[in-house]
Amino acid sequence: MISPSDRIVLPRDVRLTSDGLHDPVRGATFPLNASARLVVGAGTVAGAAGALRARFGVDALADTHAFVAQLNARLLLEVVPLRPRARLAWRWLRGLPVMLPTGALPVFPSRRRFVATSAYSSIVVTGVRAVGPVATAYGALAAVATTLTLHALAWVTPCAAAAVAGGVVAHELGHLLQLRGVPACVAVRGLRVSVLHARGARTRRVAAGGPLAGTALAAVAFAAFFVAPSPELAAIAALESLQLVGFTVLTSDGRRLCARS
């Protein structure tokens, strides 16, 4: 799902140094040769292929595309269409008939979202900004699903949208709040969202933070329901209580919590 016209830019916290691409979250520098530096600094996929063709006299569009996709998958390079949401959605739909017979789905480019972990307040502000678009998308999908399946209960739709979107934000903030003082970022690919941080840094504590925050949100909703019972609060509390699944081996968080080391 990467096009020759897409812009290629470095993520906010990744730096190009004399040694290569430095990732402060991983605490590592990924070396680049002269050709790779041409690609990273070209501005667009087509521009990178043109720079390689001018220097080496070969058609390198396919190789450039593969290299950009590799760096993007490793969260070291951003791929930005001119109209990101509309273009990516159209490319996904266009690629669906081709990919489905192979048993796979088109893959969205990865996005690396900056999170400032110097203080809890900055984690909340930058974390919500990082997770917000994905949470909104989940909320919209929940609204569509409840409208189609429970159209006779119109009040459920806004409750489901708010509960799902709020649950996604709370869950990811729960992870991030365990990483104060530790370099971290949010990785987004389509509707998949995860937190990247230094390997081994508070692994179980970070894993527990997400479902704990979601469960706390459910507890607040249940408490509000007992104080002022309403079907809306009951629906929100029920949806938020699904965060308890995060403590089981059905999820990556639960598997990390259950790991011996």
Same domain, 79 and 134: no
In this structure, is residue 58 part of a structural domain? yes
Same domain, 127 and 254: yes
Same domain, 177 and 239: yes
Residues 177-193 pLDDT 10s: 999 999 999 999 888 99
Q: How many degrees, rounded to 5, is the angle at CA 163 between CA 212 and CA 141?
A: 120
| Counted domains in the chain | 2
Which of 30, 60, 83 terminates a domain? The answer is 83
Length of the chain as a residue count: 261
Same domain, 158 and 251: yes
Tokens of 246: 């995060």
Instruction: Give the model's pLDDT for residue 199.
Output: 75
Residues 214-230 pLDDT 10s: 999 999 999 998 998 88
Same domain, 178 and 223: yes
φ, ψ (nearest 5 deg) of residue 93: -65, -40
Q: How many degrees, rounded to 5, is the angle at CA 200 between CA 196 and CA 203?
A: 75
Same domain, 76 and 132: no
In this structure, is residue 106 part of a structural domain? no
Give the number of other CB atoms < 10 A from CB of residue 39: 22
Closest Cα to residue 36, out of 57, 58, 21? 21
Which amino acid type is present at position 64?
A: T
Q: What's this model's pTM, rounded to 2 decimal places?
A: 0.84
Residue keyed to tokens 């639960």: 254
Residues 65-102 pLDDT 10s: 889 999 999 999 998 876 655 555 555 455 555 555 55
Domain of 71, in residue numbers: 7-83
